[in-house]
Structure 1
């Protein structure tokens, strides 16, 4: 069973919450909450089975949200200190006071029981950040070489984006929760070139980003072998296909084409 990373729980989470919430209460807030978040990312990219880039990133910060005299206020910062938490509570109240002048609908919080010491960890088996980088690169090299060995495939771009998001939450009502979520997004794009016209076409894998661990790439959660075998033939058909003529058509749209549309709607 997965556990919250000790490096996150070792942060002064409770001390930050006490500082922010105590100050918000002193300033007359009817509701206040604190969030501390840390996001770790890794992006590995290959071109034609050769490593192009490998970058690691980590961001952390905290935010205070309040309801003061019926108006929301918010402030955020990066320093994980009690002085900063105290300052952010004051800033959030100051924002609420300014916003109150145009607030015609005072906020009333719905009744909700407290949830002390809650923990949530997303469903994954292998933490991708525990997998050695050479193993990750080797898998992408193998997939890339499979595509490059097929007739008509000139170039292959492969990548994997990994993320681990950790968040601590506490509010005046007594709720305190901590969560850890892992996401992976592997993708390969094959390129074909029409030598006679100079035109080129691309086709990529359709596996969606998933709230899974490294097992998403190595087990039967997605048919990677089947898709890699299918892409070259589909790409050959695509580069030979005539341009669409103007008119009315019925379309079959893969969900991967609707991610952004659904997200923004």
Structure 2
């Protein structure tokens, strides 16, 4: 969880990456505890007022408090057995203040008035200590108080109301389909998260939010016994800001193309059947010839390229060098934004940041410093027009308001600027996947995310995928393997020549985008329609250089 860059959780890596570190997510509990409502909102307000009043009495000019209850459930299987079932709850209070022009923060997992008052005193003491070595005072963008408000992820059914046995049965069924199809190994998992967050500030906001996220996933592996080689295919699911209804597919939820793809519902059983067949094809596929190709990129693949090459470099703290010691910097320096004519991509490229899109991982009503969330342009007609900024950064780029993208992974962590949903907007012309392919003489159609590498400035990169299809003279000519493409960010996005319309638009995303010191994890989605890029350099990953 504390890698410099985003790590995509897969079922294969889940046991190693997450479960041994479970205490970081909370205390193990019985799953029936997840159905408890938690403390009453009136009591939360009383506790919050203790923190705010104490902080002000000790000299804070601003204070906010977050009372958080975080629920996590991971169900992990492999072949015909259950590998792990983890249920955890974390509950506590984080208090952030400004005193003598500096930030201070303290947290406690003892949720009583006395403990909260002591934590508020500690936060003020930290701020005053910081002020001895700080020369520039914090400058907050103004923010009106909203009074008492609430927001909830619009779910149909909470994943925590589904018995663990039902989840296990689904996953073992997934594994059985793969094994009957000839898979040598298969693992699958369902991850469910619920953040119950209460925010209050001296600006006059008391905000109660109930946020749900779900991620079903699997990986299928087949081995060619004759050669000793193997191939894998991951699920084409997306982690979502939805309830368990995501796993209830509907007949009108599919998008055409080489494989069955899903918009806002997911058929895990159908996907694993397709994945098992895909792995057979991958074992028999011919190895790609390096060279220049036109790429047709499915949203299940393109989301990761957007994440790494667009979303990260437009984080203002990264641009300013605040993340240089850990997560890197950005080639999108302020001079490029100030010029108002830096051509990030072709005129077709319009990228929007948002915290509102239904079903997305980043969708919330208010961010973690009490700012009502919204949408804004990052790239307009190919030109860099904005960044991602929070209250203490807004003045740096001439804004009189925060863009509402502040987040902390738990009550115990201080909030800071985190990536909102960042998405490539659909094209205006009605285009199907077949339409995108029919004019390509020499190309590759890529589905699913895979390996990636990108430099510290988010400029030079390489991306792989899950499945690759050769395009010859406007038609699919068969499957390829050993494919990765290389480019620099500006060159790549300026090679964008076609984007399918909104009927093809879909979300991908990451449950755990890593950033900060100490490291924190953020869930974020990226949407797009199928998109074409011309003349991109493709390498063969199996050949020695």
TM-score, normalized by length of structure 1? Answer: 0.89
Q: Of residues 229, 232, 237 in structure 2, which corresponds to 1:202? A: 232
Q: Which residue number in structure 2 is paired with residue 155 of structure 1?
A: 185
Higher helix share: 1
Q: Of residues 254, 272, 279 in structure 2, which corresponds to 1:235? A: 279
Q: Does 1:182 align with 2:212?
A: yes
Q: Does 1:28 align with 2:72?
A: no
Contact 1:29–1:67 under 8 Å retained in 2: yes
Distance 1:192 1:86, change over 3 A: same
Matches of 2:208 and 2:41, distance apart in 1: 12
Matches within 5 A, 1:39-188: 39-150=70-181, 152-188=182-218
TM superposition outliers: structure 1 runs of 4+ over 3 Å: 223-226, 241-253, 255-260, 262-265
Matches of 2:304 and 2:143, distance apart in 1: 38
- Quick one: higher RCO (CA 8 Å, sep 6+), 1 or 2? 1
Contact 2:184–2:222 under 8 Å retained in 1: yes
Which range is displaced more, 200-209 or 95-104? 95-104
Matches of 2:96 and 2:81, distance apart in 1: 46
User: Root-mean-square deviation (CA), in Å?
Assistant: 2.3
Distance 1:245 1:99, change over 3 A: farther
Structure 2 residues not aligned, in runs of 5+: 1-34, 251-264, 314-545
Count of residue pairs brought into register by the alignment: 261
Structure 1 residues not aligned, in runs of 5+: none
Contact 1:71–1:100 under 8 Å retained in 2: yes
Matches of 1:122 and 1:155, distance apart in 2: 35
Matches of 1:259 and 1:55, distance apart in 2: 32
Contact 1:156–1:191 under 8 Å retained in 2: yes
Matches of 1:137 and 1:236, distance apart in 2: 26
Q: Deviation at 1:105?
A: 2.5
Q: Deviation at 1:230?
A: 1.7
Q: Which residue number in structure 1 is paired with residue 44 of structure 2?
A: 13
